[in-house]
């Protein structure tokens, strides 16, 4: 690495009158210094802001120097100092191997989300993920890509319906990580990711300003793929299957329309009242798959609703579950990983909040944003398809894990918030 700017953390108030007291990092002849207070959580926020400050100053390489750089402090700095194109270089203070390996995978997840839509479409996303996971444990990983009309032939009607209008065929990627190498080994967890590689809204067409960032609508797929990659690198000894539900939601003569009815593999019929509520339609297939393989636990992640984004902003992911014990464990896990997670309401009766006169249910309410409680109602729709009446199931709505423009904590683009939490949940007994 070329010459790097030294960065220090100091547990002390600074008195240099040349700098404003709220400046995250103070520049001196020795490098940059971050002065910390007594509040641990606020210290981590300040460290992350300092990373953003140095990136904005055009610093291309840093060396974390001196005492005080624990794992959490280094990771907070890396979150702020990571630029959109993942070019900034860090020399770690301690624990370099673990930090570098984790940062490489998190940046891989971010880069997938940030790639332009001509490069990421259903099959290319599936291939990139399969290749990455296979490279980490080639003897333990196998995969299958179910593509185009094969989806309809096998009954995966949500993915097929949403993606059939695109020149890029929809896909379901199934990755089987089986460290036992025994065909009858039980599946501990199924990870499900929403992989809408571009979302125009379909015939419920988005406005141009709302469509610009919709390359990020496969953020759930990148998040769970990154989580599995980290868990594998950390020695995961349980069988985990990854299911990515991949499609482009576009408009053409054979696109699905408002009023269409989808019949799912389990016989459930769904009236389409909003083609821009497509994520839940593809995730339903993933949840049905999880039930077929008898997974003990099911975790899905999706940039699902603007309502969740409004509720928790860009600083949190939203969590939904009817399994209180598992939900509380997820919240404590997220806190330990320094990733903000907030539980929003979900009860069994939320399943009834998207009614239809023509089918078992609709995919939304025919109102802007799905009406009041839109995020919970979307989770309620998914609950219809979750195995075991939702016991052992977590739904992460990560709609806020992408920034249309940089702020004082994150660069423009994907944040990968949630990857560490889900990776840790995979390791649970």
Active site residue 280: yes
> 63, 147, 280, 420: which one is catalytic?
280
Q: 238, 364, 233, 247: which is closest to 295 by C-alpha?
A: 238
Three-state helix/strand/coil letters over the chain = CCCCEEEEEECCCCCCCCCCCCCCCEEECCEEEEECCCCHHHHHHHHHHHHHHHHHCCCCEEEECCCCCCHHHHHHHHHHHCCCCCCCEEECCCCHHHHHHHHHHHHHHHHHHHCCCCCCCHHHHHHHHHHHHHHHCCCCEEEEEEECHHHHHHCCHHHHHHHCCCCCCCEEEEEEECCCCCCCCCCCEEEEEEEEEEECCCCCCCCHHHHCCHHHHHHHHHHHHHHHHHHHHCCCCCCEEEEEEEEEECCCCCCCCCCCEEECCCCCEEECCCCCCCHHHHHHHHHHHHHHHCCCEEEEEECCCHHHHHHHCCCCEEEECCCHHHHHHHHHHHHHCCCCEEECCCCHHHHHHCCCCCCCEECCCCCHHHCCCHHHHHHHHHHCCCHHHHCCEEEEECCCCEECCCCCCCCCEECCCCHHHHHHHHCCC
Q: 14, 1, 17, 97: which is closest to 50 by C-alpha?
A: 14
Active site residue 110: no
Query: Is residue 38 left, alpha or beta, with left meaning phi > 0 and alpha meaning psi from -120 to 50?
Result: alpha
Residues 6+ apart with CB under 8 A from 76: 44, 45, 47, 48, 51, 338
Query: Cα dihedral sign for 202, 207, 208, 214?
Result: negative
Say if CB 164 and CB 215 are below 8 A apart.
Answer: no
CA distance linking residue 8 with residue 31, whole number of Å: 8
Active site (catalytic) residues: 206, 280
């Amino acid at each position: 690495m070329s010459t790097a700017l030294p960065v220090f953390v100091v547990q002390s108030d600074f008195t240099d009158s040349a700098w404003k007291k709220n400046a995250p990092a103070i520049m001196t002849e020795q490098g940059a210094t971050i002065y910390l207070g007594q509040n641990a959580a606020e210290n981590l926020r300040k460290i992350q802001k300092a990373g953003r400050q140095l990136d904005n100053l055009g610093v291309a390489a840093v060396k974390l120097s001196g005492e005080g750089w624990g794992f959490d402090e280094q990771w907070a700095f890396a979150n702020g100092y990571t630029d959109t194109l993942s070019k900034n270089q860090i020399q770690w203070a301690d624990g370099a191997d673990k930090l570098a390996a984790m940062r490489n995978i998190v940046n891989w997840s971010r880069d997938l989300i940030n790639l332009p839509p001509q490069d990421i479409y259903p099959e290319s996303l599936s291939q990139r993920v399969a290749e990455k996971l296979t490279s980490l444990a080639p003897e333990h990983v196998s995969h299958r890509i179910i593509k185009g009309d094969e989806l309809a032939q096998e009954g995966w009607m949500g993915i097929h319906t949403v993606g059939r209008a695109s020149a890029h065929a929809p896909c379901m990627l199934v990755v089987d990580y089986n460290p036992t190498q025994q065909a009858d080994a039980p599946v501990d967890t199924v990870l499900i990711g929403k992989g809408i590689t571009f979302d125009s809204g379909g015939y419920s067409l988005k406005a141009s300003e709302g469509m610009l960032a919709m390359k990020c609508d496969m953020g759930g797929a990148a998040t769970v793929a990154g989580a599995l990659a980290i868990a594998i690198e950390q020695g995961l000894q349980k069988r985990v299957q990854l299911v990515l539900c991949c499609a482009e939601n576009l408009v053409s003569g054979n696109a699905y329309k408002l009023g269409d009815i989808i019949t799912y593999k389990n016989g459930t019929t769904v009236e389409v009242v909003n083609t821009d509520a497509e994520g839940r339609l593809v995730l339903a297939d993933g949840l049905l798959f999880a039930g077929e393989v008898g997974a003990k636990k099911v975790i899905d992640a999706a940039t699902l609703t603007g309502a969740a984004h409004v509720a928790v902003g860009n600083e949190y992911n939203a969590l939904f579950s009817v399994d209180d014990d598992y939900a509380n464990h997820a919240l404590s896990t997220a806190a330990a990983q320094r990733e903000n997670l907030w539980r929003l309401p979900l009860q069994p009766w939320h399943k009834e909040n998207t009614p239809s006169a023509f089918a078992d249910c609709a995919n939304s309410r025919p109102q802007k944003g799905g009406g009041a409680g839109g995020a919970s109602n979307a989770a309620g729709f998914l609950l219809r398809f979750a195995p075991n009446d939702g016991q052992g199931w977590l739904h992460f709505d990560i709609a806020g894990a992408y920034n249309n423009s940089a702020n004082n904590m994150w660069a423009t683009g994907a944040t990968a918030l949630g990857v560490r939490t889900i990776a840790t949940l995979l390791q649970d007994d």
